[in-house]
Structure 1
């Protein structure tokens, strides 16, 4: 099969990705083999490719927002039938027995594994997944629009919950890419007032078109005091701005797996008045199931930009520019 792999992590300008021929994977016990139809292009793929995250697998194939068809199965599989459409997310496996797994916090499992980081992902014609970690997808979403739901959507949903926004409250979104544009739709549907702060003019226009109350630069103060904020941009220097923008008792949630260094914080100015600074680590399968049901019920509209499979590197370059509308998606194959 054809697959992209990270030849050597580094800046996109150095050409870290290469398109190669690999052996089609064989599903192990409890796994299914999936023919990849589409794969979303997520910022975490960029972190894996450029080396912001430490390499967990040499020459890994990135991609963890995967939509495909089951075409094979390993021993002991019972959940899916051949030809069924499934979604493969970032979270690939957890131990199931640690105190975090046993208390509904499997996203904190220290032995967790991840698609496109610990195991080859969806920038390929075929991949495998443990059947218990794959999702059935709402029929409402076609193969391209379903892809960003599987990480951008799910992580945004968990970040929104972690942000602890009061009913009818004011929410700030720092950065406005694939995850934020879906989170904004959920927040607006819940009656929240959404303010976007991002560097890109095109992204700001996009946010206003979705119904957000304001859109300014990431280092501007919003026009009103916020109750909560979510930082999607991987820029730690935004944290003090977000903390300054929220009122007493507010929460700032950092949604990314990678964040550059946070400047020193003055306790009185940044954190006093019971402000909370928190993070988001992956998601649980319950988060995923809840979000997909919610996305279906609300009729979310993921905005996607489709790229041919052969242009994965160009799709990552588009993402890296930052001033984007929605999410990039690789088209690998058509459903049969």
Structure 2
């Protein structure tokens, strides 16, 4: 099969991705073989390619926002029949037996494995995935629109939940890429007032078109105190900025898997009056199911920038340089 692998992790300008011909994967018991239609490009893929996220295996195929069709079922596998449209997301498997799994926090499972990190992902014509971890997807929505929902949407939903936004509250969003533009729409549809802070002028324009009450620079103060905030940009310098923008009792959720170092915080200015700083770690399958339910209810506008499969390296470079509006997606049909 045709695929892209992370050959030499390093700055995107050094072209860490390499195109390769790989053997077709064979599904094991409990797994599906899936033919890829579209794979969205996530900032986590960029972190893996550049080495911010240490590779767990050599020459991994990245990609974990996959829309495809079941090509075959592995031995003794109960799952959707061949031809069914399914989605493959970041969380690939968990142990199901540890105290975290048993209490509904499978995202914290020490044995968890991830698509495009622990196993080959969707920058390829084919991939395998455990049947219990894929999502059924509708036939009447374009694959290009569905793909960003499978990580950008799901992790944004979990970040929104972790931010403890009260009903009708004031939400600040720092950074406005694939995940943020979906999260903002869900929050607005659920009654929130959303203020966006981001360095990209194009992203600020998009935020306003999608219903944000204001859009300013990444370090600008919002026009009113925030009940909650989500940091999507992987920039630790913005943590004190966002904390200072919170009202009393507000919560900041950091959505990324990678963050640059956080500067020294001032207790009175940033944390006193019961402000809370939280991380977000992956997601549970229940997060995925609930977000996809909300997406089918509210129909968020999914803004995408399409790339042919051959241009995967350019898609990552554009993502690194903030040249992507919404979500970048790789189209297998070119």
Normalising to structure 2: TM-score of the pair? 0.99
Deviations 1:302-324 (A, max 9, x none): 11111100000111111111253
Superposed CA deviations along residues 222-273 of structure 1, whole A, max 9, x for unmatched, are 1111111000000001000000000100000000000000001111111000
Partner of 2:61: 61
Q: Is 1:237 paired with 2:228?
A: no
SS of the residue corresponding to residue 49 of structure 1 reads helix
- Cα displacement (A) at 1:133: 0.3
Alignment check: 8 A CA contact 1:199 1:323 kept: no
The residue that corresponds to 2:201 in the other structure is 201
Partner of 1:316: 316
Question: What's the offset of the Cα at 1:46?
Answer: 0.3
CA drift at 1:132:
0.2
Q: CA deviation at 1:15?
A: 1.1
Q: Which residue of 1 aligns with 2:292?
A: 292
What does the per-residue CA deviation read over 1:254-301, in whole Å, with 9 as the maximum and x for residues that have no partner? Answer: 000000000011111110000000011000000001111110111122
The residue that corresponds to 1:170 in the other structure is: 170
Point out where structure 2 has 5 or more consecutive residues left out of the alignment. Answer: none
Q: Is the 8 A contact 2:13 2:317 kept in 1?
A: no
- Residue by residue over 1:80-106, the C-alpha shift from the partner in whole angstroms, topping out at 9 and shown as x without a partner, is 101101000000000000000011000
For 1:207, what is the secondary structure of its paired residue? helix
CA contact (8 A) 1:200 1:324 kept: no
For structure 1, the residue ranges without an aligned partner over 5 or more in a row are none
C-alpha separation between the residues in 1 aligned to 2:74 and 2:323? 42
Runs of 4+ in 1 over 3 A off after TM superposition: none
Q: In angstroms, what is the RMSD of aligned CA positions?
A: 0.9
TM-score (structure 1 length as normaliser): 0.98
Match of 1:112 in 2: 112
Q: 2:230 is paired with a residue of what secondary structure?
A: strand
In the alignment, the residues of structure 1 paired with residue 267 and residue 312 of structure 2 have an alpha-carbon distance, to the nearest angstrom, of 44
Superposed CA deviations along residues 120-176 of structure 1, whole A, max 9, x for unmatched, are 000000000000000001344211000000000000001001111111110000000
For residue 236 of structure 1, give the secondary structure of its aligned residue in structure 2.
coil
